[in-house]
């Protein structure tokens, strides 16, 4: 099963951009890259996803490397409400379809 | 529109007992997935149901089972509970469960096994 690797934790100052990296060197050609985040005492919530091209939505941007072996979630202006654990996930259809969550990055936002 | 709901939110059981957890997906969603979250193992996929059929399964023992009803509501059952089954159990729904679909997670059921 394809897996992802993320730093355990990162810190950012409020209102500054944040770049959260994810490595997925064993990604296969049809795997989508998803990002979810989990705020304290809540279930994960969707942030963004993509296949090959960079993606933007109201929450964030997703930059995908040309070889697709890594990606970066970009929060343009971090707020205190963005403090959460961010998960990079591959939507794998190899074998049985299932989401494989990585260890996640705990983002701390400093006021 | 209402989100994914899970009941109960908290549950305390003793070893050897069995437990049933319930998940009501967002209206119109036909895929329901279940996950176990523990501090040591993180978020792990249990199984996914679509149109009342288990379509995919993670690496969990047979004590963990589930089912889905015609209205897409799903239940998860754990038999012969062990201390290690203490965890947050999360349910997520999506339109079809295809990997390009966004998954919507519920708040989870916190299970404590004594």
SS (H, E, C) chain B: CCCCEEECCEEEECCCCCEEEEEECCCCCCEEEEEEEECCCEEEEEEEEECCEEEEECCCCCCEEEEECCCCCEEEEECCCCHHHCEEEEEEEECCCCCCCCCEECCCEEEEEC
Look at residue B74 in the predicted model and tell me its pLDDT.
Answer: 98
pLDDT confidence of A106, banded at 50, 70, 90?
A: very high
Tell me the nearest-neighbour CA distance from B112 into chain A, angstroms.
16
pLDDT confidence of A2, banded at 50, 70, 90?
A: low
Say which of A31, A45, A96 has its CB closest to residue B105: A45
Give SS3 for A98.
strand
Look at residue A94 in the predicted model and tell me its pLDDT.
Answer: 62
Alpha-helix residue ranges (DSSP H) falling in chain A? none
Say which of B42, B43, B56 has its CB closest to residue A97: B56
Residues of chain B neighbouring A36 (CB-CB closer than 8 A): 103, 105
Structure-model confidence comparison of residues A21 and A1, the more confident one: A21
Look at residue B2 in the predicted model and tell me its pLDDT.
Answer: 81
For A47-56, B8-17, B90-99, which range has the lowest pLDDT when averaged over its residues? B90-99
Question: Distance between CA atoms of A52 and B6, rounded to whole angstroms?
Answer: 35
Average pLDDT over residues B80-107: 91
Convert the pLDDT of each residue in A65-103 to its tens digit: 999 999 999 999 999 999 999 999 988 766 555 777 878
Look at residue A68 in the predicted model and tell me its pLDDT.
Answer: 94
Look at residue B102 in the predicted model and tell me its pLDDT.
Answer: 87
pLDDT above 70 covers a percentage of chain A that reads 94
Convert the pLDDT of each residue in B51-80 to its tens digit: 999 988 889 999 999 999 999 999 999 999
Question: Contact A43/B108, CB-based, under 8 Å?
Answer: yes
Average pLDDT over residues B31-35: 95
- Look over chain A and give the mean of its residue pLDDT values, rounded to a whole number: 91
Look at residue A47 in the predicted model and tell me its pLDDT.
Answer: 96
Say which of B48, B90, B99 has its CB closest to residue A43: B90
Burial degree of A91 (CB within 10 A; 0-12, 13-18, 19+): buried
pLDDT above 70 covers a percentage of chain B that reads 99
Chain B touched by A51 (CB under 8 Å): yes
Look at residue B1 in the predicted model and tell me its pLDDT.
Answer: 65
Residue B47's nearest CA partner among A42, A34, A96 is A96
Look at residue A92 in the predicted model and tell me its pLDDT.
Answer: 72
- Beta strand A105-110 pairing with B31-38: unpaired
């Amino acid at each position: 099963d394809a897996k992802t690797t993320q730093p355990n934790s990162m810190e950012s100052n409020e209102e500054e951009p944040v770049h959260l990296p994810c490595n997925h060197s064993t990604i296969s050609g049809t795997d989508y890259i998803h990002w979810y985040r989990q705020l304290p005492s809540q279930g994960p919530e969707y942030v963004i996803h993509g296949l090959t091209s960079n993606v933007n939505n109201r929450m964030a941007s997703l930059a995908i490397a040309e070889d697709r072996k890594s990606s970066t979630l970009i929060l343009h202006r971090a707020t205190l409400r963005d403090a959460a654990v961010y998960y990079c996930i591959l939507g794998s259809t190899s074998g049985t379809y299932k989401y494989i969550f990585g260890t996640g990055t705990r983002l701390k936002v400093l006021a | 529109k209402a989100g994914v709901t899970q009941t109960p939110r908290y549950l305390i059981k003793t070893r050897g007992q069995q437990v049933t957890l319930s998940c009501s997906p967002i209206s119109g969603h036909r895929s329901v997935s279940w996950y176990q979250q523990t501090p040591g193992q993180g978020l792990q996929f249990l199984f996914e149901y679509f149109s009342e059929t288990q379509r995919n399964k993670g690496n969990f023992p047979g004590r963990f089972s589930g089912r889905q009803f015609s209205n897409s509501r799903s239940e998860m059952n754990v038999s012969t509970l062990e201390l290690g089954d203490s965890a947050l159990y999360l349910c997520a729904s999506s339109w079809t469960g295809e990997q390009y679909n966004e998954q919507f997670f519920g708040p989870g059921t916190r299970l404590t096994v004594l």
